Amino acid sequence: MKKVLVIGIAIAFGFAVFMGGTPTTVQAETTFVTIGTGGITGVYYPTGGAIAKMVNNKRKEYGIRATVESTGGSVFNVNAVMAADLEFGIVQSDRQYQAWHGEAEWKDKGKQEDLRAVFTIHPEAITLVAADDAGINSIQDLKGKRVNIGNVGSGYRQNAIDALEANGLNFEKDFNAESLKAAEAPGLIQDGRLDAAFYTVGHPSG
């Protein structure tokens, strides 16, 4: 089993819980809300669970009951909140900015100015993890390698692309890019089927 080398890229982001749409009321005395998170093996899912637990501890006082939903991540959560499919969503702050200003994935949809931030949770860093025998000591060493840049709909995929472009690299030309979920990458690196993987995550992280 291979060891891994973690290379931190000096770009950090916070992530926040956003709201939009209208909560669902099934009974007059209880309002049900759903929090969009991320994959069940990531950070967002247990974070959403902790938030829901705090809300539910006060449900008799405020009449609100919260549940969590595993989702594709930041981009999915923004779109689901704006479509009123979710009441709240955990979203990277840079993705919030882009959605609000109608940039990146929201360029065609326009500015998402009905988004509202509720609170910030913690900072995150774009992180590059590599096999110790892959010969990767900097982002430039990714050329010709097998690299996971993240699943479509995740916030960290665009972070990876931005970091690559800032360093003069193109994921479509310079290496073999994979579009896997973050939880899939570590095992593939250890098995020698992947050389490196990007992940935007708070540290410490398992």
Q: Any idea where the domains of the chain sit in the sequence?
A: 4-12+124-201, 14-122
Distance (Å, rounded) from C-alpha 202 to C-alpha 178?
22
The per-residue DSSP string of 22-69 comes to: --EEEETTEEEEEEE---TTSSHHHHHHHHHHHHHHTHHHH-EEEEEE
Q: Token pair of 45, please?
A: 């899912």
Q: Can you give the pLDDT at residue 204?
A: 78
How far, in Å, are 61, 88, 121, 145 from residue 38 at the CA level?
29, 12, 15, 27
Distance (Å, rounded) from C-alpha 53 to C-alpha 47?
10
Distance (Å, rounded) from C-alpha 19 to C-alpha 150?
25
Q: Can you give the pLDDT at residue 25?
A: 54
Place of tokens 């089927």: 193
Give the tens place of pLDDT for each residue, 70-122: 998 999 999 999 999 999 999 999 999 999 999 999 999 999 999 999 999 98
For domain 14-122, the CATH architecture is 3-Layer(aba) Sandwich (3.40)
Whole-model pTM? 0.79
Strands 146-148 and 196-201: parallel
For domain 4-12+124-201, the CATH architecture is 3-Layer(aba) Sandwich (3.40)
Query: Hey, do 4-12+124-201 and 14-122 end up sharing a CATH topology, with the first three levels equal?
Result: yes
Peptide bond into 123 cis (omega under 30): no
Q: Can you give the pLDDT at residue 203?
A: 82
Where the chain has pLDDT below 70, the residues are 1-28, 206
Q: Can you give the pLDDT at residue 23?
A: 64
Distance (Å, rounded) from C-alpha 12 to C-alpha 122?
10
Dihedral Cα 149, 150, 154, 158, nearest 10 deg: 10
- Cβ count near 115 (within 10 Å): 18
Q: Can you give the pLDDT at residue 126?
A: 94
CA 72 from chain center: how many Å?
8
Q: Can you give the pLDDT at residue 66?
A: 96
Q: Can you give the pLDDT at residue 199?
A: 93
Q: Can you give the pLDDT at residue 6?
A: 47
